[in-house]
Amino acid sequence: MKKLILLLCLFPILSLAQIHRCVTDSLHRYKLDTDLNYKANFLQTEKSFQLQNLLKSATNDTVYTIPVVVHVIYHTDNIAVENISDEQIQSQLDVLNEDYNTNNENIIDVPAIWQPLVRNSKIKFVLANTDTNGNYTTGITRTATKITNAFSIFDNRIYSKVDGGEDAWNSNFYLNIWVCELENNILGFAAFPGTISNSDGVVINYKAFGRFKNTNAPYNYGRTATHEVGHWLNLLHIWGDDNGACSNDDAISDTPKQANSNTRCPSFPKTDACTDTAPGIMYMNYMDYTDDHCMMFFTNRQVERMKLALATVRHSLVASNGLASPNINQTDISIDSIENPVKYSANRCFQPKVKIRNNGNTTQSNIVFNYAVSAGISKNLIWKDSILSGETKWVDLDEIGGDLGSNLFEVRIKNTDYNQVNNYKSASFRINNTSNFNCDVLSSISIYPNPITTNNSLTIDAKYSESQKATIKIFSNDGRMVYSNEFKFNPQDKLQISNLNLSAGIYQLEFNGEINHDVKKFVVVNK
């Protein structure tokens, strides 16, 4: 029987009233009492963590990049839901990288008294490029299982391909994440570092994996994985799993003692029996149980403990070939990162900027980008510059806008190539300013008159140099399409559209041409 060393985190998914306790402490003590190998490995790991010379090597500013492989296990009768998309998987990697590098937009909400404790771990997570045999990989495996029931926390079939799950890739060199259906509304669990087990990694319920798409509120920001990967890097629950006794803690000196876990979103400050004075307990820490959008940060000492794990018991990850650049004899353009927007935007309108890489063996040009903010109306841009094989370049996209508060920027490469997984990227950010509302600074079309009256006749002046067919779509302020038609545009054409029958309000006109793509706002007023 395979050894199973787990940190369990039981959360409700379908019913917020059905709160499950985490059984980390009881299972951990059980394994210490019954599994000699587990006990020896655990004690050795903890001994290493006490050595100050190792601590010094772990608390520097080293950037650790961890190769990740995601094993999707889905029931054949629920393939459309459980076999989650490439974009959903990539969105989870985006969340991990934001949270572990203080690029999450809600980091600004950390109470002022604890802001000095916030630390960028400089730990990065990337889907593996190379598998255990040295072959090119997307970093994702997909397994259709004939197992009909949801998996339990003790079900070793998750980690066995012959039994209906998927074998781990060498855990010395990869972070294995299994995504599947878990019973009893369990969101996820993880393995301690230093254990010898084919289940070394993290298991996440598909309902809580990724950001927004197909996930269940209030666990739809991808923070289950942030929490579980923290366990995988040797972080304990912030309250110490001592049933409110206030005798244990999380072995972290800069987190206050805490009686028990928190759910939902408490109000700051919150005190309890273990810390009864302000600022109280640190319920917004990633290692508590609050709702996803209320989790915000790791502390200095938590980062030290994680980096110590990477400098000692998980040090072999540094030597992994999982991120080696493979030789791809096909077309593969990837979105490497988003430079803007990240975390904050001063204005409602901004110019996105992304970094792309040519992983293939031929020069590429005419790359088509599709992008949107918070699932709003998307824009397209054809980038006509060229990018050589192995080269990286920054691409400035046309201006786009969002709403005050929290937003999600998503960008896709629409060209067909060998690896579609790396054609998507997302970034959470917050808009703090109402200025520069009209996001049309870079537009190549104009609409007049603007505003127009409710007789609804407008003229579109397209300042393009090439003839093309284009579909004109008009959307109301609530996102409804109220007009669509196709036209042939020649250079400098002016198109008049009459009898639109639009009520007063703000509208957005989208020009979707064979070559050019643009968006323009206009206003309809009463006569």
CATH number at 93 reads 3.40.390.10
228 is catalytic: yes
Q: What SS3 class is residue 93?
A: helix
* DSSP category for residue 22: -
DSSP secondary structure string for all residues of 117-158? GB----EEEEE-SB-TTS-B--SEEEEEE---SPBPTT-GGG
Kindly state whether residue 490 falls inside one of the protein's structural domains: yes
Q: Do 54 and 162 fall within a single domain?
A: yes
Q: Judge whether 199 lies within some domain.
A: yes
Of 290, 318, 346, the last residue of a domain is: 318
Tell me: cis bond preceding 67? Omega within 30 of 0 counts: no
The verdict on 354 and 212 lying in the same domain is no
The structural domain count of the chain equals: 3
**CA angle 139-299-285, nearest 5°?**
75
Q: For residue 245, what pLDDT is reported?
A: 80
Q: Which of the listed residues 389, 404, 431 is the one where a domain comes to its end? A: 431
* Whether residue 367 has pLDDT greater than 80: yes
Q: What is the pLDDT of residue 434?
A: 57
- Pair of tokens at residue 183: 């019973």
Name the residue with higher pLDDT: 350 or 33.
Answer: 350
Give percent above pLDDT 90 in the chain. Answer: 53
pLDDT of res. 525: 84
Q: Domain with 505 in it: what CATH number?
A: 2.60.40.2550
Whether residue 65 is found in the same domain as residue 154? yes
Instruction: List the end-to-end C-alpha distance of the chain, in Å, as a whole number.
Output: 79
Which pLDDT band, with edges at 50, 70 and 90, does 310 fall under? Answer: very high
| Lowest pLDDT segment from 70-79, 210-219, 418-427 | 210-219
Does 42 share its domain with 112?
Answer: yes
Q: Which helix (H) or strand (E) segment is 494 a member of?
A: strand 494-497
Of 228, 304, 399, 410, which one is the catalytic site residue?
Answer: 228
Instruction: For residues 473 and 422, state if they share a domain.
Output: no
In a domain, 439, yes or no: no
Residue 109: what pLDDT? 95
- Return d(Cα 160, Cα 145) in angstroms, integer: 11
* Domain containing residue 189: 7-243+303-318
* Residue-level pLDDT at 33: 74
pLDDT at 9 over 80: no
Angle 223-232/86-100 helices, nearest 10 degrees?
60
pLDDT recorded at residue 348: 77
In a domain, 267, yes or no: no
Q: Is residue 272 part of a domain?
A: no
| Same domain? 449 vs 520 | yes
Task: Tell whether 409 and 355 lie within a shared domain.
Answer: yes
Q: Are residues 510 and 451 in the same domain?
A: yes
Query: Do 412 and 489 share a domain, yes or no?
Result: no
Residue where a domain stops, chosen among 431, 456, 478: 431
Location of structure tokens 């803007």: 340
From 344, 522, 396, select the one nearest 448 (Cα to Cα): 522
Residue 47 has pLDDT above 90, yes or no: no
How does pLDDT run across 428-452, given as a tens digit for each residue?
999 886 555 455 444 577 888 888 8
Contact, 181 vs 82, CB < 8 A? yes
Average confidence (pLDDT) over 170-188: 93
Judgement on whether residues 172 and 231 belong to the same structural domain of the protein: yes
What is the C-alpha separation between 299 and 499, in angstroms, rounded?
Answer: 60
Instruction: Give the per-residue pLDDT at 26.
Output: 47
Q: Are residues 204 and 349 in the same domain?
A: no
pLDDT exceeds cutoff 80 at 459: yes
Among 192-206, 297-311, 348-362, name the one with the lowest average pLDDT. 192-206
CATH label of the domain that carries residue 414: 2.60.40.10
Q: What is the pLDDT of residue 12?
A: 39
Please tell me whether residues 450 and 427 are part of one structural domain. Answer: no
Which residues sit opposite 370 in a β-bridge?
380, 412
- Judged by average pLDDT, the poorest of 30-34, 271-275, 375-379, 432-436 is 432-436
Predicted local distance difference test score (pLDDT) of residue 447 = 83
Compute the mean pLDDT over every residue in the chain, rounded to the nearest whole number: 85
Where residue 515 falls among pLDDT bands split at 50, 70, 90?
confident
Phi, psi of 519 (to 5 degrees): -140, 140
Question: Does 287 map to a domain?
Answer: no
**125 vs 14, which has greater pLDDT?**
125
Supply the DSSP string of 370-418, one letter for each residue.
EEEETT---EEEEEEEEE-TT-EEEEEPPPEE--SEEEEEEEEE-S--S
Amino acid 14: pLDDT: 40
Are 428 and 373 a contacting pair, CB within 8 Å? no
> Do 274 and 259 touch, CB atoms closer than 8 A?
yes
